[in-house]
Chain A
């Protein structure tokens, strides 16, 4: 999921950076003081989650948790993912500094999309349908992210169909795992603290 320095053409890197800056600044405006701990926590969870491995055939994939982060943060997922990615690049050498923008877009945009699609349904859902909504958000975000990775590699000159196939295929088991994880987490959060799923920025007016 983390594209490294040197894999992408300059145009893609620049376009990714511009889009990411737009997303991050929009996300930052959505964060109020009440949402701050939530954003920080999801950023930390994203930072750490990439070290948890899911064996995929001969290789392995790591958790991304962007679906979960999207449901919890909405647009504020952009700064959260960006900071997580930045630190992963600096501390572990995942991804890289020049491709930060592209990676942020690839991971955060599907999260926002899933939030936009699923959270209205999740707000009304109860019981089993909460699990279903969580699963759809978790696995859908991974599916979209891996397609976007394929797309960014294709835009840099690789052939789209084989590349996308390779990336998406290797993430199918991860989709299942992330879906289950997101479903379980959302179910629990909805039961014990539903306000955490309320859109960022609405807490003050709700309180």
Chain B
């Protein structure tokens, strides 16, 4: 008879485990990548849903807020920055969930002046719906001169650099998204480890209590 609740508990626990292996955490994450002079990315919940109009803050490497804005309906944002340096983007969905993501200065175009202490960084938000293609082009000043007569393309060194940067970052992006998503995923081993720790904690506690109560039981028996 006393074995029953334990058995029931184990069955419930195992049943729960199997239904939730693929489930994910309800937590806010943010992904962003630098491309040319644009930082674009999106905020998302662990389950894949996107927050609407979440607050976003852009912080410089000293932790000062240099820009505050909101994501669009898709949870996306796109910011144009004036200096090359490390940035941190922070998203806040307003219900106690906050996430941050660091953008390495190397991802941004080398042609931007490098930022640092005491330099005012200009940040402007780009409307993600109307200016859709602006982020794809490496920089607004890049023009490609095409000589139609012999199909030769002449580019300056800088233009070539930014074109290569844009192409590489476009191809790397899905890979980085996948890696970030993989890190956020709740793993089965974590789950089992956590349950093991709970059993251990309460087991130790029970052992301690059993040790305390044993002399009393011995006194009662005779």
Which residues on A are within 8 Å of B, measured CB to CB?
A: 1-7, 31-33, 36-41, 43-45, 47-53, 55, 58-62, 83-84, 87-88, 91-94, 149, 152-153, 158, 162-163, 166-167, 170, 192-193, 196
Q: Are A52 and B20 in contact (CB under 8 A)?
A: yes
The closest CB in chain A to the CB of B45 belongs to: A59
Contact residue among A45, A58, A93 (Cβ-Cβ distance under 8 Å from B12) = A45
B143 within 8 A of partner (CB): no
Q: Are A44 and B4 in contact (CB under 8 A)?
A: no
A-contacting residues, B83-99, CB 8 Å: 92, 94-99
Bound-state Cα–Cα, A37 to B207, Å: 12
In the complex, given contacts A2-B96, A59-B51, A83-B201, what are 5 additional A-B residue pairs having Cβ atoms less than 8 angstroms apart?
A7-B96, A44-B198, A51-B25, A61-B26, A92-B25
25 A-B Cβ contacts within 8 A? A4-B99, A7-B92, A32-B209, A36-B206, A37-B202, A38-B5, A40-B199, A43-B202, A44-B198, A47-B194, A48-B195, A52-B23, A53-B24, A59-B45, A59-B49, A87-B198, A91-B190, A93-B25, A152-B96, A163-B95, A167-B95, A167-B96, A192-B4, A193-B4, A196-B5
**For residue B198, which residues in chain A have a CB less than 8 angstroms away from its CB?**
40, 43-44, 47, 83-84, 87
B65 within 8 A of partner (CB): no
**For residue A55, which residues in chain B have a CB less than 8 angstroms away from its CB?**
47
Interface centre among B9, B12, B92, B202 (most CB of A within 10 A): B202
Contact residue among A40, A52, A87 (Cβ-Cβ distance under 8 Å from B16) = A52
Q: Are B202 and A92 in contact (CB under 8 A)?
A: no
Q: Are A60 and B47 in contact (CB under 8 A)?
A: yes
Contact residue among B17, B25, B191, B205 (Cβ-Cβ distance under 8 Å from A94) = B25
How close is B36's CB to chain A, nearest CB, in angstroms?
30
**For residue A51, which residues in chain B have a CB less than 8 angstroms away from its CB?**
20, 23-25, 186, 191
B13 within 8 A of partner (CB): yes
Which residues on B are within 8 Å of A, measured CB to CB?
A: 4-6, 8-9, 12-13, 16-17, 19-20, 23-28, 45, 47, 49-52, 92, 94-99, 184, 186, 190-191, 193-195, 197-199, 201-203, 205-206, 209-210, 213
How close is A114's CB to chain B, nearest CB, in angstroms?
20
Contact residue among A4, A6, A44, A48 (Cβ-Cβ distance under 8 Å from B20) = A48
Interface centre among A4, A33, A51, A88 (most CB of B within 10 A): A51
Interface of B is mostly: helix
A-B CB pair tally, cutoff 8 Å: 141
**For residue B5, which residues in chain A have a CB less than 8 angstroms away from its CB?**
37-38, 41, 193, 196
Contact residue among A4, A62, A152 (Cβ-Cβ distance under 8 Å from B97) = A4
Q: Are B194 and A2 in contact (CB under 8 A)?
A: no
Q: Are B49 and A60 in contact (CB under 8 A)?
A: yes
**For residue A5, which residues in chain B have a CB less than 8 angstroms away from its CB?**
98
Contact residue among B13, B25, B47 (Cβ-Cβ distance under 8 Å from A45) = B13
**For residue B194, which residues in chain A have a CB less than 8 angstroms away from its CB?**
47-48, 87-88, 91
Q: Are A36 and B47 in contact (CB under 8 A)?
A: no
Bound-state Cα–Cα, A41 to B210, Å: 18
Q: Are B16 and A36 in contact (CB under 8 A)?
A: no
**For residue A39, which residues in chain B have a CB less than 8 angstroms away from its CB?**
202
Contact residue among B19, B26, B190, B206 (Cβ-Cβ distance under 8 Å from A50) = B26
Bound-state Cα–Cα, A205 to B8, Å: 23
Q: Are B95 and A153 in contact (CB under 8 A)?
A: yes
Q: Are A44 and B199 in contact (CB under 8 A)?
A: yes
Q: Are A58 and B25 in contact (CB under 8 A)?
A: no
